[in-house]
Amino acid sequence: MTSKQIRLLAIVLLGLAVLLALLAWQVGRQPAQPAASAGARPMHAVVVTTRPAEAGKPLDAEALKVEMLPIDPAGAYRDVARVTGQVPLVALGANVPVLESQLLSGLAAQVPEGERAVAVSVDEVIGVGNQVQPGDYVDVFLVLRRDQQEIPDSQARMLLSRLRVLAYGVASVNRPQAVKPEQMMARQEGAKTAVLSVPLEQVSRLAMAQHSGRLMLALRNPQDEAMPSDGMFAEPPPALAARAGVPADAPRAAPDKATAGVLLSGLAAGNGAPAARAPAAAPAPRPLQVAAPPAPAQVRERAGVEVIRAGKRDIE
């Protein structure tokens, strides 16, 4: 190989080296490519807290957000609306997932504000032939018999209207009873109690009625919203009177009415109740009988001195 050929080969190799250097420089300037999609971890939408939350206080919308996380915890929520208003059982930190097991999920969460869940005893007759289901609406009727025996003074009337049934037997609105296919037409036999959602100020009335009379549930159409007229009938007197100095017309909140309670006599009284019997009148005193004064002739005859001679009575 001549020197001229060697120089030509060297020039070619040098050009190749320059091209390789330029190519390496271009590759080094490009950003790193992400990993292959097959090896990427999937992301999940999870509701998390934006700030610490106290136990027992409802969660508001500002305390929640949806964040994409590489984990999908069991019982996590995807929508903030499903968590808003629910009550955590434990304190929650900031930026932590909200789980179903951390929230109040019992029957208490189904009780509206201002009402209380109250259980009443039922049987097949009281419970409309065991056809009542959780979520239904019922009217509560009261039957009172005076002294449990006296028929003329008995009464029956509607005590409370349009109460929602929270539970009946073992089934409840938050935990429906699982029904097997062969039991779809079977009635819910053996129910002993029904849990009703009762306004707080009416709980005392229902408790007194249950222990002093007999209750009966009347099933009603949920679309029927008819209610008794306000102020149509007098309210029964409370068991506790307001303390001195409180005006008689002072407004009373529902807890105040519940604390005041109700008397059984007031619960049984009403327009339909018989009037109280008046006490029997005492017998009129007999006038004193005064003997009439003797006639004047008799007075004159009796005047004088009585003398007895030989067994004979003479007046001289």
Closest to 207 measured CA to CA, from 107, 119, 148, 110: 119
Q: Tell me if 161 sits within 8 A of 205, measured CB to CB.
A: no
Q: Do 91 and 103 form a contact (C-beta atoms < 8 A)?
A: no
What pLDDT was estimated at residue 273? 41
Q: Which fold has domain 42-102?
A: Type Iii Antifreeze Protein Isoform Hplc 12 (3.90.1210)
Q: Which of 189, 139, 185, 186 is nearest to 169 (CA)?
A: 189
For residue 208, the model assigns a pLDDT of: 93
On the question of pLDDT at 276 being above 90, the answer is no
- Alpha-carbon gap, residue 87 to 58, rounded angstroms: 4
Mean pLDDT on 222-232? 90
* Tokens (6 digits) for 130: 């065991």
Token pair, residue 132, equals 């009542």
Domain extents in the chain? 42-102, 116-224
Mean pLDDT of 25-46: 71
Residue burial 58-94, b: 16+ Cβ < 10 Å; e: rest? ebeeebbeeeeeeeeeeebbeebeebeebbbeeebee
Q: Residue 138: CB partners within 8 Å, gap ≥ 6?
A: 128, 132, 162, 163, 165, 196, 217, 218, 219, 220
pTM of the complete model beyond 0.85: no
The token pair that represents 301 in the structure block: 């005859």
64: which strand partners?
Answer: 49
- Residue 156 burial by CB count (10 A; 0-12/13-18/19+): exposed, middle or buried? middle
What's residue 296's pLDDT?
Answer: 53
20 confidence band (pLDDT: 50, 70, 90): confident
* Six-digit token string for 225: 């919203």
| For range 160-165, the mean pLDDT | 96
Residue 197 phi, psi (nearest 5) = -90, 110
Instruction: Give 128 or 275, the one with higher predicted confidence.
Output: 128
pLDDT at 150 over 80: no
**Averaged pLDDT, 106-125:** 91
Q: Residue range 15-20: average pLDDT?
A: 84
pLDDT digits (tens, 9 = 90+) for 36-92: 455 578 899 999 999 999 998 989 999 999 999 998 999 999 999 989 988 898 999
